[in-house]
Amino acid sequence: MPDLRKDPIVGRWVIIASARAKRPHDFDTSPVRQKGRFCPFCEGNEHATPDEILAYRKPGSTPNREGWRVRVIPNKFPALEIEGELNKRGEGIYDTMRGVGAHEVIIESPDHLVSTSELSEEQLREVLWVYRDRLVDLKKDPRFVYGMIFKNVGAAAGASLEHTHSQLIVTPIVPINVWEEMTGSLEFYNYRGRCVYCDMIQQELATEKRVVLDTPGFLAFSPFAGRFPFETWILPKTHSSHYENIRKSEVDELSGVLRQVIAKVESALDQPAYNYIIHTATFDTQELSHYHWHIEIIPSLTKTAGFEWGTGFYINPVPPEQAAAFLREIEVESREQQNIPTRETG
Amino acid sequence: MPDLRKDPIVGRWVIIASARAKRPHDFDTSPVRQKGRFCPFCEGNEHATPDEILAYRKPGSTPNREGWRVRVIPNKFPALEIEGELNKRGEGIYDTMRGVGAHEVIIESPDHLVSTSELSEEQLREVLWVYRDRLVDLKKDPRFVYGMIFKNVGAAAGASLEHTHSQLIVTPIVPINVWEEMTGSLEFYNYRGRCVYCDMIQQELATEKRVVLDTPGFLAFSPFAGRFPFETWILPKTHSSHYENIRKSEVDELSGVLRQVIAKVESALDQPAYNYIIHTATFDTQELSHYHWHIEIIPSLTKTAGFEWGTGFYINPVPPEQAAAFLREIEVESREQQNIPTRETG
């Protein structure tokens, strides 16, 4: 008998269809990693991209030339454009505005790596710092209210380039999913006086069955009402609503947690395409007691079909407890002490 | 400059990214139609499926044998199961219940056809009647509150069998998307005293630029804030909230409209995978002034990526006005007068 489970934050129900249960190797996850073609994101090819907005580079090196470790550029085909006013208006019963916003690409390595799991923890730390720097900068623009950082790896997850990169889209309105998370968690807070995410951390630590990785500062677990097989969330244990307020000690630790969790998912599922998304509070708020930033990791294993599009109700064929048990057991090496030579030092 | 457009019903914003605009042939739509393997849905193979719940058959023919025109069976791998009580309960902060519901498959033809566009209008009329009959029957069960009828065609749209079929999933709770549509349209009604869908019909008929097909009883158009390229909606012009209250004259006309719209989409996009979904009101309501049943047709052309999963905000690379202009021009033959021989008559 399948289970129906309700997401305690947005109220979305999920069907956990154990009768359809799948072992990790039952999913078709054609690896999507072809090396060899010209890559505009590789070091030395800076001329092939728009000019950089920010880069962490070797002292004395020249912008838009070699010598960088992490590099941020405008998206060449932006979904939203940075210049201009919003011009909000009606068109009969419809509402519209100009597509003003920011759409940036964060190139995470000068080398042609293809996944977060291939970065050293030191490299990933710099990526996490770049995320923060860009949010802090863009939040100063009064036209913008939200910044969404996400990463698509593999064609099935929507990536069009292979070289490891993330994206930042900054929007002039609050996206509906963010609004639902923020109001859902506010309702919980108003009713119980606690942050729903803090409650989840407590309950997951107490029951242990959905825990994937537990470190002093972070908890990675399979959410009770996960929409997708092997969906995994990473939460900071210390309450905080805005990613951009992350502390240095948290960045130091998160780089290891994020890399290990992704390496576990990749090992379990034979290098699937995946997305990760940083869920954080809106720009126009100060620290909030009811909202808690976190990272959601979604392997691309299932097709979204008519039922999901119509209902917003997901069918997850892998009970989160099974996914967590599986991921928990997988050993992954730390890349903390490997001291990988980089172009800069080598 | 891209446009931001707001869906007037649920408040979801969409980025209409004209800079990324694509002509129909720019999408990769590998046709997904392999004939030849054993098909449990073909006439003569009734032994390979669960026993039928309902069939329209030749007088005197035997259930679960040949002689049917449309056949409804339980899904062999149901997402929800029909027997048992809900057993609603908490698990710490989480809510859960047993996955009780119905999951049925409507086999739309005894022949191995693969798309709605291959059905004759007379066959499609019977499919539309079967949808109604099943909703009327399942709505009697007090455990159930919603019935979602949808169709997946092609692997990219989530179909696992090729033989033309639709599905009905009946749920014990109101799906979040349905709830958002129903409350969104109620808010509009409370504020303006009109049905938002009726307003859309009026505005679309007045401006004409998003109209795909206009018949006496139905309007097919590209929605102003469509999430997906070539997304097309079909609405009955006479206000009605529940699909199961459809009138005979509407069924007669809808079969032609639905078949033609799908044929246009298939012709424009080289036989893409697609979904259609019937959006209708919940079981526990009588006729509602604020809600309006309709069909949404979604070709599977784009990948849902991190940005969409995180924000619920979609990037549509084809302005709905362009999609509508394209679809409007495509001529498709009517299959009304073709008098296709069926196994029954032939």
Q: Is residue B29 part of a domain?
A: no
Q: Is residue A264 part of a domain?
A: yes
CB proximity under 8 Å: B 305-324 to A? 305-307, 309-313, 315
Each residue's pLDDT, cut to its tens digit, for chain A (346 residues) gives 777 787 777 777 777 766 655 666 666 555 555 556 899 999 999 999 999 999 999 999 999 999 999 999 999 888 888 888 888 888 898 988 888 899 999 999 999 999 999 999 999 999 999 999 999 999 999 999 999 999 999 988 989 899 999 999 999 989 889 999 999 999 999 999 999 999 999 999 999 999 999 999 999 999 999 999 999 999 999 999 999 999 999 999 999 999 999 999 999 999 999 999 999 999 999 999 999 999 999 999 888 888 888 888 888 888 999 999 999 999 997 776 454 444 443 3
Contacts with B1 from chain A: Cβ below 8 Å: 81, 84, 98-100
- Convert the pLDDT of each residue in B262-290 to its tens digit: 999 999 999 999 999 999 999 999 999 99
Contacts with A146 from chain B: Cβ below 8 Å: 311
DSSP 8-state code for residue A117: G
Phi/psi for A17 (5° steps) reads: -95, 80
- Convert the pLDDT of each residue in B37-72 to its tens digit: 899 999 999 999 999 999 999 999 999 999 999 999
Residues 6+ apart with CB under 8 A from A37: none
Q: Is residue B233 part of a domain?
A: yes
Which CATH number fits the domain that encloses residue B261? 3.30.428.10
Total of domains in chain A: 1
Residue B76 touches chain A, beta carbons under 8 Å: no
CB proximity under 8 Å: B 108-167 to A? 146, 148, 150-152, 155-159, 167
Contacts with A305 from chain B: Cβ below 8 Å: 150, 152, 157-159, 275
Which amino acid is it at A311? T
User: Pick from B1, B175, B309: which is nearest to A98 by CB?
Assistant: B1
Q: Say if CB A270 and CB A326 are below 8 A apart.
A: no
Q: Is residue A157 part of a domain?
A: yes
Q: Nearest-CA distance from B106 to chain A in Å?
A: 14
User: Cα A10 to the chain's mean position, in Å?
Assistant: 18
Q: Is residue B338 part of a domain?
A: no
User: Pick from A178, A203, A303: which is nearest to B92 by CB?
Assistant: A203
> What's the predicted TM-score (pTM) here?
0.90
CB proximity under 8 Å: B 223-252 to A? 224-225
DSSP 8-state code for residue A225: T
Give the C-alpha separation, B132 to B1, whole Å: 44
- Residue from A307, A316, A318 to probe the interface with B (highest B Cβ count within 10 Å): A307
The full 3-state SS of B69-115, as one line of letters, equals: EEEEEECCCCCCECCCCCCCEEECCEEEEECECEEEEEECCCCCCCC
Q: Say if CB B239 and CB B202 are below 8 A apart.
A: no
List the beta bridge partners of residue A68: A57
List the beta bridge partners of residue B74: B104
Residue B79 touches chain A, beta carbons under 8 Å: yes
Q: Is residue A89 part of a domain?
A: no
User: Pick from B2, B158, B207: which is nearest to A303 by CB?
Assistant: B158
List the beta bridge partners of residue A96: A89, B5
Residue ranges in chain B whose pLDDT is less than 50: 337, 339-346
A12 and B176: CB-CB below 8 Å? yes
B303 and A81: CB-CB below 8 Å? no
User: Pick from A13, A158, A303: which is nearest to B173 by CB?
Assistant: A13
Q: Is A180 helix (H, G, I), strand (E, B) or coil?
A: helix
| Residue showing tokens 């069955």 | A209
Tokens of A22: 């799948």
pLDDT for B19 equals 60
Domain containing A281 equals 39-81+95-329
Contacts with A19 from chain B: Cβ below 8 Å: 77-78, 81
Contacts with B13 from chain A: Cβ below 8 Å: 171, 173, 175-176
Tokens of A321: 């407890």
Angle at B12 between CA A303 and CA B175, to 5 degrees: 55
pLDDT for A41 equals 96
